[in-house]
Amino acid sequence: MLSKEELNVCNQAIEKRFINLAQLQECQEIQKKIDDMGTHKSIVDILLEKKYLSGEQLAAIQRGSVKDTKALGDFELLAKLGEGGMGTVYKARQKHMDRVVALKVLNPMLAKNKDYIPRFYREARHAAKLTHINIVSAYEVGEAQGFHYLAMEYVEGKSLDHIIEEKKIIPEAEALNISIQVARALGHAEKHGLIHRDIKPENIIITKGNIVKLIDLGLAKSVYDEETSLTKTGSVIGTPHYIAPEQAKGLRDVDIRADIYSLGATLYHMVTGAPPFQSDSSMAVITKHINEKPVPPVRRNPAISESISRVIERMLEKNPYDRYQTAQELLEDLQSVKEGKDPKLGQLELLVEETPKNKKKKTFLKPSGNMKASHPGQGFLPSYEPHPLPWSFLIKMIIGLTILLILFLLYKKTLKEQSQPPSKTETRQTTPGARGK
C-alpha cells in the first residue's frame, strides 16, 4: 500500500503528465513482488529506476509540494527567505516552542543521495553544539512529509552582500569590526573541531544592533570525522569568488586556514568594492584563486591603511602554511590594526627588555603566535618561551679556552726542550788527565 507521501508524488506526476497510469500500475506490481519477497522499495525509487520519472521531475514535484503547503511537521511556513544549491530557507514558526525560526528545507535532489542524508544529520548535530553570540544557533534537524530540514535561529538584519551592494565600499573601521566578529565565531568553531567552508558576504548577517552573525553552518565539517564528512576528494565545496585554493583543488585535508582565506577574500571585497578575482566564468575565477596573486588591496583603494592591506594579503596566501595558522592569531592582528598598531603577521619579533636589577637590556626572539611548519608533512613546531642570549657565558667560555690554549702551548714547549740531544761542545769535553798522556 502506498504511503501518504508516495501517493502525493504519484498523483502529481500523473497530473503533470510526467508518467501515465499504465506506468504507475506496472511499478505497483513490481513493488508488490518485492514486498512478497520480504523487502520493501519505494514506488518513487521504482519509477526512477524504470526511468519513467526523472530526478528533475521529482525535484519539481517536491518543490511544488513545499510551496503549496503552509505547514511542515511542527513548523508553520510564514515566508520564503531565500534559495540556494543546498535547499530553500523559510521563515517559520515552531508550534510547540512558539518561536520564529529559519527553516532550511534540503534540496530533494540531495535527499535522493543515500550517503548524503546520514552525513547531513551528523554534521547538523555538530553545528548544534556551537553556542556563540556571533554564530546563528542550530536548533533541530529532522524529517517531515518526506522533506529533510534544519531549524535555525531566525535573525532580523541585513546580509553583508546587500550592505556591500548599497555602499559599494565599506569604510575600514566598519569592515574591521565585521571581520573581528567573524574571526571570533571561527575561533569558537575551531575550538570545537569545526570549520565553515563557505565564508562569504551572503553568509554574514548584521543585526540592527550591529551584532555580526555567521550563518549556514549546516555546511560545517568536523575536522575529526573524515569518514563522514560531506567533503570527498575531488569535490569542490565553497563559492568561487571567495574559495580557498585547497578547496578549489578539491582537496580533502581542509582546515581553519581555508576559512581564514575566504574571510580574507570577503574583507578584500568590503574595502575595495570587488572580490580579489573576477571573470566571466566561475571556472576562470577558481583557476585564478589557485594560480594568481591578487592586486594588493591598498592599490585598489589608496584610502585604506597599509596595515589592513598587509593583513589581507597574508590571509590570501596560496599556501595555507603562509597564512595565519589560527583564528586567534588573525584576531590579534585585526585588533592591532583597529587600534592603529602594526600587525605582527605571524612573524618572529626582535624584542628588547630591561631587567629591573641592573637596568641592562636583554635581547631575545619571541614568536607572535605558534610556529608554523616548513612543509605540509612536518606539522606544527611547538610554541616556546623567550630566552635571553647568553653573552656573559660566551665571554667566559672564550677566556677559558684561551687560558687552556696558552697552558697547552707551554706544556708542548717544555716537552720539546726535554727531548733535545746534548750539544757537540758538551761531548768534546775530556778530563785533564787524559789530555796530558
Task: Please report, as a single letter, which amino acid is at residue 22.
Answer: A
| Among 68, 198, 259, 280, the one annotated catalytic | 198
Q: Residue 105 pairs with which residues in a beta bridge?
A: 88, 149
The grid cell for 56 is 528533475
Pairing of the two strands 212-214 and 361-367: unpaired
Q: How big, in percent rounded to 5, are the helix, strand and coil portions of the chain? A: 45, 15, 40
Residue 320 DSSP label: G
Exposure string for 71-82, b = 16+ CB within 10 A, e = fewer: ebbebbbeeeee
Q: Residue 87 pairs with which residues in a beta bridge?
A: 106
**Which residues lie below 8 Å from residue 347, measured CB to CB, with a gap of 6+?**
368
Residue 164 DSSP label: H
The grid cell for 13 is 506526476
Asked if 324 contacts 346 with a C-beta cutoff of 8 angstroms, the reply is: yes
Q: Look up 98 and say whether it is catalytic.
A: no
Give the active site residues.
Answer: 198
